[in-house]
Amino acid sequence: MTNKIDRKLAQLKQDNRHGLMAHIVIGYPNLPVSEKIILFLAEAGADLIELQIPFTDPLADGPTILKANLDVLRTGIKVADCFRFAEKMASRLTDIPLLFMTYINIPYNYGLENFCRDSAAAGLTGLIVPDIPPDEKDEPYHDLCLAHNLHPIYILSPSSTQERMKLIGHYASGFVYCTARVGITGARESQIAGLREFMASVRKYVKVPLSLGFGISSREHVESIRELAEISVVGSKVIDIYNSGQSEKESLEKISSFVRGLR
Amino acid sequence: MKKYIVDSFESEGHFGPYGGRYAPEMLIPALVALEKAYREAQQDSSFVAEFEKLLATYSGRPTPLYFAENLTRKLGGARIYLKQEGLGQTGSHKINNAIGQALLARRMGKKRLIAETGAGQHGLATATVAARFGFECEIFMGELDMKRQRPNVFWMEQLGAKVTPVLYGTRTLKDAVNESIKNWIENLETTHLLVGSVVSAHPYPTIVRDFQSVIGREIRDQIMEEEGRLPDCLIACVGGGSNSLGMFYPFLEDEGIEMVGVEAAGLGIESGKHSARFQGGKKGIVEGYKSYFLQDDDGQTLTTHSVAAGLDYAGIGPEHAWLHDLGRIEYTHATDQEALEALKLLLKTEGLIPALESAHAVAEAVKRSPGMGSDQIIVINLSGRGDKDIFIVAEVLKDKAWLEFLKAKVKEGYGDQ
């Protein structure tokens, strides 16, 4: 099975280029502006984009993304709106793989099979659902993703044991999303060393490319992890930057120059 | 082969289709380590002995099983017994589980306990064991719950815990659960998350149920001593479901015994302002487990309501969901109003103040008992005592003297000197 994610990863490798994945919450601050944010991200050089379907209980998200989720839900957005939005984006950004990110209750409630089928039909190429580990066998999430040519993206973190790395390595599809909260801002060499060690053990068990997210805020950060992962992830930073602007125009320009600055 | 009791370690935390471990990957190693530590502790006679000793000497177990003679006469049906969990240390059944998990956390070398709390009873129990065992302690509590349960917040803080308000979402128990899990993710090395009900990812629903099942085991012995036979009906309120499951669990395989779980109907089921998951809730996977949740057509969890903060929760323990589907436990509901009436009734007939949560169970007995025979036996779990609810109850009953008292206290410069 190959899909747009595989082609993108192959291309990055061929060009010897480090990839960048950006994250947005669909409908934040509203649907038209989140569409613009995506287009600015694409224009500025994002290689992959995560589209988060908002959920009332986003267990693995920090305050920025949590607040964005709840703010969007207050506007009355529905999952069906998110599908329409994603489909529109996918048709405009043919070169950029789009992934849905959300929590399992959303696909579960939608019907896992329907969710996978409709995601693929909308032009998405992968799902990131943090609260369905691959060994939770009660729901056929993993198999349904594969059956619909979607990569189920799994996550590893420094708390992961070797056993878990081995297990995720077994199921890994597309790439594995590594999170490392090591307070990299003003990082000391020792923290980078810890990260290096973590990523090295992940490599031992995981044979697909790796993405790494940890609050990247500068080109130096990207430089320092270039050797550790194929893709850097910019998560809540995009929302923080958007919120720091005085006007929509300024916010969008800030996002654009931030992303350009990372390349 | 047992019909209703599942070996939940064998089934990896599944109760039929419910439960499981739908947790973010970063939590899985901690959950696996907790499961291992708990299974070892269960086999360790010194662990079990210490737990039992603390229950007896620190918390005051066994709690009495009291024959409510006046209430029985007043309702004119079955003989009603009250299991007085409110007489334990900290005033509710929550202490049983808190002691058990504190011992477990110490065994695992943790230095810090964190917990979510709704009514504050679990937070209070956690802060209490943290003080007793020398843990650092942080309690997460919805801002709305902090407002309605100030007395518990006060005592938690006096006990040395930091009480952190949760300012987002419904600002009640559900959000406190989310926040405590997030905090755990950030502090896995040092911290044990002391989950207070039979919810969350495996192994929590099993651990909490086991520590609480002392309630039902005691009832078995006590009723045999009093009546020479087992009861006909057990009634308990159900929020997350720990007091009820602790009571029901040791009786599950006794098919003749009826079991009734009472959910909070708030302002009435039809009003939509309630917390009755089996009335309008549907299957979902939230906060690490699969069960019934009150949610909209997209799977977004709904704001719930109950006068009793401890029942005001969108989810219900996965083992309850399973026993519901099997038809082993009957789930019914009582409104805020019915619970308040039941509270007043118990006050006047027996001189007992039940927690507002437990008053829901009493309300069910009021409906059920008159239709039963005088040779039949009901046991109600009075999971907590109601002293803590003085502010809420006085407000709902519009007690003028209490309001005047508060005003006068402020006016005369209460706390200024």
- What is the ipTM for the molecules in this complex? 0.95
Q: What is the largest CA-CA distance in chain B?
A: 67
One of B85, B116, B287, B338 is an active-site residue; which one? B116
One of A15, A35, A43, A50 is an active-site residue; which one? A50
Interchain pair B301, A67: CB under 8 A: no
**Residue range B22-57+93-208, CATH number:** 3.40.50.1100
Residue A196 CA to its chain's centroid (Å): 21
User: What pLDDT score was predicted for residue B388?
Assistant: 78
For residues B16-36, give the mean pLDDT. Answer: 96
Q: Is the pLDDT of residue A190 over 70?
A: no
d(CA A150, CA A116): 8
| Residues on chain A touching B30 (C-beta within 8 angstroms) | 159
User: What pLDDT score was predicted for residue A1?
Assistant: 56
Average pLDDT over chain B, rounded to an integer: 95
What is the DSSP code (8-state) at residue A54? P
Per domain, the residue ranges of chain A are 4-262
User: What pLDDT score was predicted for residue B374?
Assistant: 97
For residues B112-139, give the mean pLDDT. Answer: 96
Closest CA to B15 of B343, B356, B245: B245
C-alpha distances (whole Å) from B38 to each of B10, B34, B47, B48 are 14, 6, 10, 11
Interchain pair B29, A57: CB under 8 A: no
Chain A with chain B: Cβ pairs closer than 8 A: 101
Average pLDDT over chain A, rounded to an integer: 92
pLDDT digits (tens, 9 = 90+) for B64-84: 999 999 999 999 999 999 999
Token pair belonging to A151: 């990569």
Per domain, the residue ranges of chain B are 22-57+93-208, 62-91+213-395
Choose, out of B6, B11, B21, B25, the residue to mutate when testing the contact with A (most A CBs < 10 Å). Answer: B25
Most confident of the following: B98-112, B376-390, B392-406: B98-112
Is B282 a known active-site residue?
A: no
Choose among A56, A132, A160: nearest Cβ to B22.
A132
pLDDT digits (tens, 9 = 90+) for A156-169: 998 899 999 999 99
Range in A70-84, B23-37, B173-187, B278-292 the model is least confident about: B173-187
pLDDT digits (tens, 9 = 90+) for B348-370: 999 999 999 999 999 999 999 99
User: What pLDDT score was predicted for residue A195?
Assistant: 86
| Residues on chain A touching B186 (C-beta within 8 angstroms) | 181
Q: Is the pLDDT of residue A180 over 90?
A: no
Q: Are A138 and B285 in contact (CB under 8 A)?
A: no
The strand pair at A48-52 and A126-128 is best described as unpaired
Q: Are B260 and B364 in contact (CB under 8 A)?
A: yes
At B242 the three-state DSSP class reads helix
**Residue range B62-91+213-395, CATH number:** 3.40.50.1100
CB neighbours of B1 closer than 8 A, spacing ≥ 6?
none
pLDDT digits (tens, 9 = 90+) for A111-167: 999 999 999 999 999 999 999 999 998 899 999 999 999 999 999 998 899 999 999
User: What pLDDT score was predicted for residue B241?
Assistant: 97
User: What pLDDT score was predicted for residue A29?
Assistant: 96
pLDDT digits (tens, 9 = 90+) for A88-105: 999 999 999 999 999 999
**Residue range A4-262, CATH number:** 3.20.20.70
At B187 the three-state DSSP class reads coil
Q: Is B374 exposed, middle or buried (0-12, 13-18, 19+ CB in 10 A)?
A: exposed
For residues B195-216, give the mean pLDDT. Answer: 98
What are the counts of helices (DSSP H) followed by strands (DSSP E) for chain A? 12, 8
Q: Residue B218's pLDDT band (boundaries 50, 70, 90)?
A: very high
Q: Is the pLDDT of residue B242 over 80?
A: yes
- Using omega within 30 degrees of 0 as the cis cutoff, is the peptide bond preceding B203 cis? yes
